[in-house]
Structure 1
């Protein structure tokens, strides 16, 4: 009988490979593995980056004009953005310097320009609708549902007006800040619950959309806390290194985070709903 060298090592390698394969199968069948695979299938990060690019090109110019029209407070979009990011006073000055004085945008915008901004904003609503359809594995909606994009954009603008009307942390006590944060979470939950129902053209039941709206609202709250501790110092440091372009880079990164939360929250909500419905792992196309 021939003598073979290295047999114990081969057995150990085979045992190690078997253990790794079992661990790999367990991770793939777990909640984290399913979320990871579904996010990769729908290109979650790619869509989040597209969300940020469209927000910067289509939605932000419209919001700049709308904020300039807020004559009651006259804060402008820079103050809106500062409150949404929760940045410090040093970073606040850099953001306000980048967007200029509040009244300039309104004075230099014509009726035709405002109509163009609104039309571009509608394309942003169409992109969000496409992302939700990918989350739920639905076919693209028909062309006659475009009116939903106009309604969604109008409600989004009004919701942002209400959100930024809340007192800033410097103006409010600790208790009031917590209450305002709670109201913001509830408001975000209602908005994204309704947004999914509207943009998906009623093809998904209200009950199935609840987990996604809750995940999105909590995710945005977490992103706001993260922004206070990470993005706020980055604005100050990047401005020193890159100038005004550094502020743009941080703003784009924040918008990528918002897009990731919006689409990722809807995806987690769908998987959680299917877990409750005892359809696990989820089958693509099932609702």
Structure 2
């Protein structure tokens, strides 16, 4: 008795879910192909991506945030001990606003900055000087970021040492004055936002020129400074909305350590924006139209400034 061939079933029609999955796969493949071709079609995008990979954005931002948290903020606390009460109150208000500190966390910062050590003034002054000098680690890290963005060799210590201290002092003063400026000196955000943008642009324009040791002329540094101003304003607006609730949740979950976790995360976001702005500013300054306007059409790494 011969075997019957297996009965063939007619093909089942495609299900709607399968068709949708195929369409999404086709779209994702098309988008991936477009993304791969975009750097070739738009040279600015390709240069920007190469710059970000070379600078190593997140690594630089994390190092800057760690140095700011471990050295610069303690220096700010120590200096506040020797400053008048008005400046100390302004510092507390600025930290409370910028970090979204409320309740017990705000009281802890108030007590920390409100303490004074008049019993041993000599030791206090020496400790403040040591803390301030160690805080220049942030300045050195920022200088390395600027040099990496502009592909410049490392400056000599004798050339850069005084610049580290000057930049740190100016940065700390700007941090104390940041909240009144953002509030428009009591007149509101309509004045505070433009003032914050202009102040941040001026600060980071000067920062690049100072830490690069005058090796890059002023005008090529302007695009990065403008982008830094935009980044500072954007992060500031976002922090006013997000940080208070995030800080409250973190303190409720981790106790006092929540202030550390949230503050460090906020610093990483801030320095990511700044590093991104400086890195892309160099790319923008090399664009043909911008370079023609700024007078910066020279070969990369040679910008008409002094060499260290």
TM-score clears 0.5:
yes
Matches of 1:43 and 1:106, distance apart in 2:
43
Counterpart selection for 1:197 from 200, 206, 209: 209
2:264 corresponds to 1:249: no
Between 267-276 and 149-158, the greater mean CA deviation after superposition:
149-158
Q: Which of these residues, 36, 45, 52, is aligned with residue 58 of structure 2?
A: 45
Query: For residues 111 and 259 of structure 1, what CA distance do their matches in structure 2 show?
Result: 30
Give 1:262's aligned residue: 274
CA separation in 1, counterparts of 2:218 and 2:279?
Answer: 15
Could you tell me which runs of 5 or more consecutive residues in structure 2 were left unpaired when the two chains were aligned. 1-25, 293-297, 304-308
Q: Who is 2:114 aligned against?
A: 103
* Cα drift, residue 232 of structure 1: 1.9
**Which residues of structure 1 form unaligned runs of 5+?**
1-14
Distance verdict in 2 for CA 1:163–1:227, change over 3 Å: closer
| Superposition deviation, residue 67 in structure 1 | 3.5
Q: Does 1:163 align with 2:178?
A: yes
Q: 2:51, 2:283 within 8 Å by CA — same for their partners in 1?
A: no
For 1:23, the equivalent position in structure 2 comes to 34
> Which residue is 2:3 aligned to?
none
Residues 1:70 and 1:189: Cα distance change in structure 2 (over 3 Å) = farther
2:286 aligned with 1:271: no
Partner residue, 2:126:
112
Aligned length: 263
* 1:74-102, Cα deviation, whole Å (9 max, x unpaired): 426442212234x3xxx422431442413
TM-score (norm 2): 0.75
Are residue 220 (structure 1) and residue 235 (structure 2) matched? no
**TM-score of the aligned structures, taking structure 1 as reference length:** 0.81
2:74 equivalent to 1:61 = yes
CA distance in 1: counterparts of 2:166 and 2:279, whole angstroms: 23
Deviating above 6 A after TM superposition, structure 1's stretches of 4 or more consecutive aligned residues are: 15-21
Q: Given the alignment, which residue of 30, 44, 48 partners 1:35? A: 48
Displacement of 1:166 after TM fit?
Answer: 4.3
1:133 and 2:143 correspond: no
Report the equivalent of 2:138: 124
Relative distance call for 1:190 and 1:106 in structure 2 (3 A) is farther
For 1:75, what is the secondary structure of its paired residue?
Answer: helix
Taking CA–CA contacts closer than 8 Å with sequence separation of 6 or more, which of the two structures ends up with the larger relative contact order?
A: 1
Listed one character per residue, the Cα deviations across residues 176-200 of structure 1 (whole Å, up to 9, x for unaligned) are 3321222122111111101100100
What is aligned with 1:8? none
Matches within 5 A, 1:142-157: 142-145=156-159, 146-157=161-172
Tell me how far 1:139 sits from its aligned partner.
Answer: 0.7
Separation in 2 of the partners of 1:187 and 1:144? 29
In 1, the alpha carbon distance for the partners of 2:108 and 2:39 equals 45
For residue 241 of structure 1, report the CA deviation from its aligned partner. Answer: 0.8
CA–CA separation in structure 1 for the residues paired with 2:142 and 2:32: 38
